[in-house]
Amino acid sequence: MISVALRGMMRRKLRTVLTAIAIVLGVALITGTYVLTDSIKGAFGGIFSQVYRGTDATVTGKSAFTLSGQSNQNAPPFAESLLPKVRSLPDVADAVGGVGGIAHLILGGTVVHFGGAPNLGFSVDPKRPELNSLTLVRGDWPGPDQIVIDQATGHKKHLSVGQTIGVQANGPTLQMKISGFVHFGGAASLGGATLSGFDLPTAQRLFQRIGKLDQIRAKAKAGVTPAKLAAEIRAILPPLTQVRTGQAQAKSDARGTESFLNFLQDFLLAFGGIALFVGSFVIANSLSITITQRTRELATLRTLGATRRQVRRSIVIEGLAIGALASVVGIGVGLGLGVGLFKLFDLVGFTLPNNGLVLHTRTIVVALVVGILVTVLASLRPAVRATRVPPIAAVREGSDLPPGRFAKFRPVGSALLTAVGFALLIYGLFAHGLGTKGILLSMGVGTLLIFIGVALLAARFARPLAWILGSPAARFGGAAGALARDNARRNPQRTASTASALMIGLALVTLVAVIAAGITKSFRGAVNDLWVSGYAITAQNNFDPIPIAAGNAAAKTPGVQAIANVRGGDAQILGGVHQATAVGPGGSQIFNMKWLDGGSNAVFTKLGAHGAFIDDGFAKSHHLTIGSPLILTAPTGKSVDLHVVGIFKPPTGGSPFGPVTISDQAWDKIYDTPMNIYSFVRMKGGETVADKAALEHQLKAFPNAKVQTKQQFIDNQISGLNAILNVLFVLLALSVVVSLFGIVNTLVLTVFERTREIGMLRAIGMTRWQTGMMILGESVITALMGGVIGIVLGLVLGGLLAVRIDFIVFALPWKQVIVFAIAAVIVGIVAAIFPARRAGKLNVLEALQYE
């Protein structure tokens, strides 16, 4: 029996391949994701251990509390005086102190950057190269006011030794001479990041760390273990510093990239999962259709003594074999995908460190297990259906499958399934006290049930829907169009199942579009509510901090009436870590705040050394009112006593202010190297070309600072969202492609099934073209059905989310909805090409004799 199942599958090669593709794509995405992230992780791990190869112990600053990781905040630096103390320890052979941070290279007045990769700078010690992060590959180590640059950037920007280049870190731009080129550890490139190295005094000036260090690296004397060295150093450490062995430090440094890579991995895997879910629909559907077509064969097996269980098993085994085959191919394609992604990133300038592709056993196991499991699960229903083929079908023409025992409960069951799905989704969204995992699980399972339920329900309204969607075809398509509509309606179950695969992709795409439109709308609303007009100054990439000096320079521009610099960072307040902000008194003339409890914009001027304003949410959850005391602690361990001087209600789309905002002067006392996130400027005459030019002229020394009008500011802030949106669309497109193959598969099988009928139509005068148009029409009607149901479902799901999530208002992304509907039609057309050609090529005589 097993060999019967497997050989039957081999015989239906085309169908097997088309079915398998549905799984191949999902498995490939999963494999590709693992390969990509594992390879990058491996490479980074290698880089960091290379960086610390000569280091036995490191001393770094330690925050007063665990940082949220959501801001650009680093641990505070410590006093340089610790270095001689470490050097004088008995087991220390040598030690160097270093500082580092974000350092932009400036060529021709603009910042050198590749993709969204960071621009990093470090101090190096020319006399102790074994303790440097950077490895010199050409030229010399830098002297005072000199710089070494990573070789990849050097190549890409055609830099040469002796050339002068601008550098801007925490202060104004400095001009430096290039003394040489370097690698980071052993890596020529670090994901498109620009790297620069300076001698310590120069770096301390750049990063505004005079008399301070971010790190000490120590080398042990021969025979002293790193652990012993670390213990010895630990004994003399001042507060807010910590010691680690070199290896531990390498791991800790890699952890930042690792947590990002883990996120990227989960994120991409989710889309692999979605593609597989869609693939399971395609598989269930095509297996189901083949079973109908194999009725006589299955019945014959039954007359020869095959039990129901044997029939069921033969279908499941077929599923297992398709799953295994598809998974193996998927792993191969996934490896290719990994290579392709590296190349793609390279092409856009985001060269990832790549020490060869890493294919863990785990990757293979997960890909195989998931691919096979999904296929087998998808084959269960068709397998049960196959057991309903009665032996008597072996001798009867066109006998129908008898309905299953539960067939009459099907409409109620699928409606119930959908209802349970919505209930779970709503429970996840609105129930209190669920953890993040609980919420995600409840929503995820809910959405899954909704999709399955709607897919089952779709068979109910497939006929009327096909009638409506097919009416243009029937009206203008002549006989072919009318037949196309009839064909789409004749097996509603099949049409609905085929459409459902596409429905899932389109529902998710629409959902994403609705959320994005909601965020955009509420953000736009918030900016318009809060800020009348003027200019905003941000970093070129819209989120890096900019030096305070830039804001100060802008303030001196002729015509400036008011400026509000907003700083931000992690702070410990009332036992929790929050994103606190700071602003100057200028805010009173810039912002249009909605103050509660009788407050006014005078709050900005009343902040002083100990005032704070808070948002209504924070006030509520911490039971704070005007006058309530609170303490804000910075990562440096320094704190400030505050009392609430104002409570405001931020608009739906958020505000530039965190839950707690203090004055910039109070902020600068407790934060190390404070920087601005935004500066908002109000100028005489509002927004004019001359004003903008004046601001830009004033900021010439800060090429990383960008002057924007309100409209530009909104667009720039949203541009990040749009980039994310496009990535989501591309990833979801994969599941749409899977469903496209599902339509191809159904049509091929349908053409096969209707061979005799098509032969008859051709015999009575239907042209090839008309035959093709008939198939095309059916395909487009099916795709549109999936599109319409999917878009409606996506709007409903998006609406639910908009109701729940505070910072989203419901907005109908009608332009995108139209694009999606057109995309569905295109999917239908593309899917029809191959089956329509096959139908057109049928030999009339043979088709008529086909049995």
Task: Give residues in contact with other proteins (CB under 8 A).
Answer: 1, 3-4, 7-8, 10-11, 296-297, 300-308, 310, 390-392, 394-395, 851
Give the residues across from 617 on adjacent strands: none
**Structure tokens, 502:** 């596409």
Comparison of 160 and 303: residue with beta carbon closer to other proteins = 303
HSE-up (13 A, CA, CB side) for residue 252: 14
Q: Shortest Cβ distance from residue 251 to other proteins (Å)?
A: 57
Hey, how many other C-beta atoms are within 10 angstroms of the C-beta on 340? 13
HSE-up (13 A, CA, CB side) for residue 102: 20
The Cα–Cα gap between 48 and 59 comes to 16
Comparison of 54 and 391: residue with beta carbon closer to other proteins = 391
840-843 long-range CB contacts below 8 Å, 24 or more apart?
Answer: 840/768, 840/769, 840/771, 840/772, 841/768, 842/751, 842/755, 842/758, 842/759, 842/762, 842/771
SS3 (DSSP) at 397: coil
Q: Shortest Cβ distance from residue 308 to other proteins (Å)?
A: 6
Comparison of 230 and 299: residue with beta carbon closer to other proteins = 299
Q: Are 375 and 283 in contact (CB under 8 A)?
A: yes
Give the residues across from 427 on adjacent strands: none
Pairing of strands 611-615, 146-150: unpaired
Q: Shortest Cβ distance from residue 9 to other proteins (Å)?
A: 9
Q: Shortest Cβ distance from residue 395 to other proteins (Å)?
A: 5
Question: Phi and psi at residue 47, in whole multiples of 5°?
Answer: -60, -45
Comparison of 300 and 541: residue with beta carbon closer to other proteins = 300
The Cα–Cα gap between 704 and 546 comes to 7
**Structure tokens, 371:** 């691919």
Comparison of 25 and 386: residue with beta carbon closer to other proteins = 386
Q: Shortest Cβ distance from residue 298 to other proteins (Å)?
A: 10
The Cα–Cα gap between 285 and 742 comes to 8
Comparison of 10 and 412: residue with beta carbon closer to other proteins = 10
- Calculate the alpha carbon distances from 849 to 195, 755, 761, 842, 843 in Å: 74, 9, 13, 12, 10
Q: Shortest Cβ distance from residue 303 to other proteins (Å)?
A: 5
Q: Shortest Cβ distance from residue 309 to other proteins (Å)?
A: 9
Residue with tokens 């949106």: 725
What stretch of H or E contains 57? Answer: strand 57-61
Q: Shortest Cβ distance from residue 802 to other proteins (Å)?
A: 53
Q: Shortest Cβ distance from residue 307 to other proteins (Å)?
A: 5
Q: Shortest Cβ distance from residue 7 to other proteins (Å)?
A: 4
Nearest CA to 501 out of 25, 17, 16, 13 is that of 25
Comparison of 7 and 623: residue with beta carbon closer to other proteins = 7
Comparison of 286 and 498: residue with beta carbon closer to other proteins = 286
**Structure tokens, 99:** 């500082």
What stretch of H or E contains 717? Answer: helix 710-753
Pairing of strands 92-98, 100-102: unpaired
Comparison of 303 and 665: residue with beta carbon closer to other proteins = 303
Comparison of 306 and 443: residue with beta carbon closer to other proteins = 306
